Chain A
């Protein structure tokens, strides 16, 4: 993994104006994964979109960590069901006009 793709946690705290304890909480609940580089915790840039969503859910809707975790699990399920639906619809097309 390239280090240039990793964003140090202190930078994220400054960037989003969020306390380190919030990130620690997300990490404790398994919502984000810290990567340690030279004694500094970092987050992979590909996880930033998810992280921002968590910040919004926390700030806009006052969701706690359990709430964020539940929302993410349900959104994941919705995504899975959507892809299953598309797959099934595509399969059904085989039998149309038979």
Chain B
């Protein structure tokens, strides 16, 4: 268990007055407050540290004790006596339940160092205030193929299994909120929510933009010039298309309703856009070259 320099955390000198400490604490609390830094674990940790430092240094008795033992807090008879005293105090206050009054801080609101030196927390402002529990954030990685249809998954969050039905057509970065599956509330408050962010990886030949899909199909020169049938792989099977003669490079065709499912709109699909990429022959036989030269003369 390492010593924690509370003065350093608040950025004040050891000679700082109570007003200096209050000012430094307020400034840092505004900077790192979890409500102002949603989903930022570093800020949350920093806020805990700042709170802890303030609780020690803004209280005359605690500050005196902290200053007295300093980095040698683990040694010395006086510390042991103080610790024993704290233990007894804790036992006589079994009903005490700390809450920092801020979202997201469970039992780990204080460092081991703090718990060891001072016992529980001191902030009594919100001991009995019921607050909603912390929102849990989770990420779920799925492949594009998985989200083409309704997907069922079982997630384990804090040892509890949560059955999840993921609607088809969910997009990358989309967040689904599962009510009441977050952290436990404070002092009997309601549970927080579980926020699941979906990371959709794409290993297919399709590019996706919302519910529309895009695909590039290579055509050889002769097919592009003369036209004919081409078979194209869509997301749900093959489709035969009739290619007009003299199809230009970069021509785009829309296959209506052959795109991706529209999120939470049962039976509705986006479109599939096919872009033709005409490939020129990479080498020609003598005969082919001769025929091309003849064609060139006709132009």
Contacts and interface: CB of A to CB of B under 8 A. Distances in A.
Interface of A: 15-17, 48-49, 52-53, 56-57, 59-62, 71, 75, 83, 86-87, 89-91, 93-96
Contacts of B29: 60-61
Given A49-B132, A53-B35, A59-B126, A93 B173 contact: no
Report the contact-size class of chain B (Cβ under 8 Å from the partner). 20 to 34
A90 B33 contact: no
A91 B193 CA distance: 29
Given A52-B131, A75-B38, A90-B171, A59 B207 contact: no
A86 to B, nearest CB: 4
Given A56-B35, A90-B208, A90-B209, A61 B30 contact: yes
B214 interface: yes
Contacts of B38: 75
Contacts of A49: 132, 193
Contacts of B214: 94
Given A16-B130, A49-B132, A52-B131, A59 B208 contact: no
B14 to A, nearest CB: 26
A53 B192 CA distance: 13
Contacts of A90: 171-173, 208-210
A72 B29 CA distance: 17
A5 to B, nearest CB: 12
Interface in B155-179: 171-174
**B interface SS class:** loop
Given A59-B126, A90-B173, A94-B209, 4 more contacts: A49-B193, A83-B173, A86-B174, A93-B208
Interface string B96-134: 000001110000000000000000000001101111100
B207 A94 contact: yes
B26 interface: yes
A62 B26 contact: yes
Nearest to B187: A15
A93 B199 CA distance: 13
A77 to B, nearest CB: 13
B62 interface: no
B218 interface: no
B130 A48 contact: no
A56 B101 contact: yes
A60 B103 CA distance: 11
B89 interface: no
B17 interface: no
B172 A86 contact: yes
A93 B35 contact: no
A93 B207 contact: yes
B243 interface: no
B36 interface: yes
Contact of B26 (A61, A75, A91): A61
Contacts of A16: 129-130
User: Which of A57, A60, A83, A93 counts the most chain B CB atoms within 10 A?
Assistant: A60
A57 B130 contact: no
B202 interface: yes
Interface in B191-228: 193, 202, 207-210, 214
Contacts of A86: 172-174
Given A61-B29, A90-B171, A91-B209, A53 B103 contact: yes
